Amino acid sequence: MADDSYRVAYNPDVLSCLANLSSDEVFTPPNLVNAMLDLLPQELFYSTDTTFLDPVTKSGVFLREIAKRLLDGLSDKIPDLQKRVDHIFHKQLYGIAITELTSLLARRSVYCSKYPNSIYSVSHFDDAEGNIRFKKIQHTWRGDKCAFCGASKTVYERDEVLETHAYEFIHTVHPERIFAMKFDVIIGNPPYQLSDGGAKASAKPIYHLFVQQAKKLRPRYLTMIIPSRWFAGGRSELDIFRAEILKDRHIRKLHDFPNASDAFPGIDISGGVNYFLWDRDNEGDAEIVTHIGDTIDAMTRPLLEKNSDILIRYNKAISIIRKTKIPDAKSSFSTMVSASRPFGLRTFFRDFYKKTFNGAIKIYTSAGSGYIERSQIEMNTDWIDKWKVFIAGAYGERITENFWVTGKPFVGEPGSCCSETYFLVGPFESKEKCNNTISYIATRFFRFLVHLHKNTQHATAKVYSFVPLQDFSKPWTDEELYAKYGLTDEEIAFIESMIRPMDLAGGDDDA
């Protein structure tokens, strides 16, 4: 077999097209795979003993790109091309496909035949799987959820001919038994979420389960690309995962893409994505590299900043956080922000009148404002007759820079309430203090600190944790705040490059 004919068979163009299909199962572009492979010590590709596992094979692009590097790296040790190909595919590369279809696609990409025991395979195996296996797994139901992944029984208990999306790698307590061998490198792009049967296509994150399972195998190196929502937000299981990762000194490199389309062209993933390198035998600070368009910013620092429980994703924000450090929880603006459902009324609450009536309470909802009976309010009735500020609980933008971060705050007059659509800030004894608070929220300084803690459209009181309280007997401007906290021209420029001005007098057309 000639080298040239083999390389023609490995044409990356098809996989580049697949990389742009959809965000349901995100296919990884070859250039991104190679960026991840560049994190590894390159001597791995010059050893005949290095073993690689992709436990979430889809297109086979990870195994294919590894094979290309090994083909070059082992050319001196195994000069005969066919012997080299056979050694690499039989002894060094292993994959676990996530569906039957992707198993065929991966084998076609790697072996040039969906059945490696056929005459078309570039390396012959005695079975139809080779080292890229697919085993149809059933969920293990405990009540209405899968004990391993939390999938909804009503959604995923399916006929045998349909995919169950019970991924083999995470549906076992003994992942080491799948191939009964140890791996030097585990690499891949795991599925991100599964429906949990909740309302409005509610989904449960599962990508962290693949990372945790891979670490159980104790490879020398682990690298995966996953959503970045774990940096700051997410459900309780992501809180646990975040705490584990931020304290793990074996994470030595992390590349972050706040705009996911910078990594996956044309794909929209809320909160962005990141890939990392976990090094079993070395500990230390991590090199954190942020990619924003063509701009790259790198810094070596601890993943966990002091007095923080999240990953601060922007390196240039570290000095700002240190200058605005809040001495204790009571000094945080988050103490002024209510829990969700401040008056006990859900987002979909619609039982209100458009016209006022005697004794009516004004209500603000996602469907507009109206009037309700005082008796309809379920909790915090003492807030009704006080001044307060309302701010949207969810606000998202489909732009790559110059964020607003929050929706426009507005005054809630005495005799008013809101549905779950809004959070309440306050309450206050006067309209003047409401307006002064709104002036603070409108500053770029305020919204930048919120942005550091908010990487999805949804917000809770926690996203305001980095924002220091102020004296609200007066209004605030960015210039005053920059001076108060001693920010440098460079720090100010960074904040203003990230956050758009908020015109409180204008409409919401830009929101």
Q: Is the per-residue pLDDT at 507 higher than 70?
A: no
Residue 330 is part of a domain; what is its CATH number?
3.90.220
Q: In the structure, what pLDDT confidence band is assigned to residue 454 with cuts at 50, 70 and 90?
A: confident
Domain hosting 339: range is: 324-498
Question: Three-class SS string for 28-44?
Answer: CCHHHHHHHHCCCCHHH
Residue 451 in contact with residue 506, Cβ under 8 Å? no
As a whole number, mean pLDDT of residues 9-22 equals: 45
Q: Is the per-residue pLDDT at 480 higher than 50?
A: yes
Q: Is the per-residue pLDDT at 13 higher than 50?
A: no
pTM: 0.84
How would you class 24 by CB atoms within 10 Å of its CB: exposed for 0-12, middle for 13-18, buried for 19 or more? Answer: exposed
What pLDDT shows up at residue 232? 83
pLDDT in tens, 163-211: 888 999 999 999 999 999 999 999 999 999 887 665 555 678 999 999 9
Q: Is the dihedral of CA 261, 262, 263, 266 positive or negative?
A: positive
Q: Is the per-residue pLDDT at 511 higher than 60?
A: no
Q: Quick check: is 36 in a domain?
A: no
pLDDT in tens, 220-273: 999 999 999 899 866 678 889 999 999 999 999 999 999 999 999 988 888 899
What pLDDT shows up at residue 74? 98
Residue 390 in contact with residue 422, Cβ under 8 Å? yes
Q: In the structure, what pLDDT confidence band is assigned to residue 1 with cuts at 50, 70 and 90?
A: very low
Q: In the structure, what pLDDT confidence band is assigned to residue 38 with cuts at 50, 70 and 90?
A: very high
Residue 464 in contact with residue 338, Cβ under 8 Å? no
Q: Quick check: is 40 in a domain?
A: no
Q: Quick check: is 52 in a domain?
A: no
398 is written with which tokens?
Answer: 């489909």
DSSP letters, 287-305, are EEEEEETTEEEEEEE-SS-
**Identity of the residue numbered 388:** K
Residue 237 in contact with residue 278, Cβ under 8 Å? no
As a whole number, mean pLDDT of residues 155-159 equals: 83
What pLDDT shows up at residue 328? 84
Distance, in Å, from the CA atom of 164 to the CA atom of 194, rounded to the nearest integer, reads 11
Q: Quick check: is 388 in a domain?
A: yes
Q: Report which of residues 15 and 177 the model is more confident about.
A: 177
What pLDDT shows up at residue 112? 95
pLDDT in tens, 315-366: 999 999 999 988 888 899 999 999 889 999 998 899 999 999 999 999 999 8
Least confident of 30-44, 425-439, 444-458, 490-504: 444-458
Q: Percent of the chain at pLDDT above 90?
A: 73
Tally of structural domains, the chain? 1
- Nearest residue to 491 via CA among 438, 440, 449: 449
DSSP letters, 151-189, are -BHHHH---TTS-----GGGS-S-GGGTTTS--SEEEE-
Q: Quick check: is 182 in a domain?
A: no
Q: Quick check: is 238 in a domain?
A: no
CA 21, 27, 30, 36: dihedral to nearest 10 degrees? 150
Q: In the structure, what pLDDT confidence band is assigned to residue 508 with cuts at 50, 70 and 90?
A: very low
Residue 113: phi and psi, rounded to 5, are: -160, 135
Least confident of 182-186, 235-239, 439-443, 501-505: 235-239
Give residue 131's Cα distance to chain centre. 30
Q: Is the per-residue pLDDT at 304 higher than 80?
A: yes
Q: Quick check: is 74 in a domain?
A: no
The overall average pLDDT reported for the chain is: 89
Q: Quick check: is 226 in a domain?
A: no
Distance, in Å, from the CA atom of 417 to the CA atom of 365, rounded to the nearest integer, reads 9
pLDDT in tens, 386-415: 999 999 987 765 444 567 788 899 999 999
Distance, in Å, from the CA atom of 197 to the CA atom of 5, rounded to the nearest integer, reads 49
Place of tokens 């500020």: 389
Q: Is the per-residue pLDDT at 137 higher than 50?
A: yes
What pLDDT shows up at residue 393? 85
As a whole number, mean pLDDT of residues 115-133 equals: 95
What pLDDT shows up at residue 159? 75
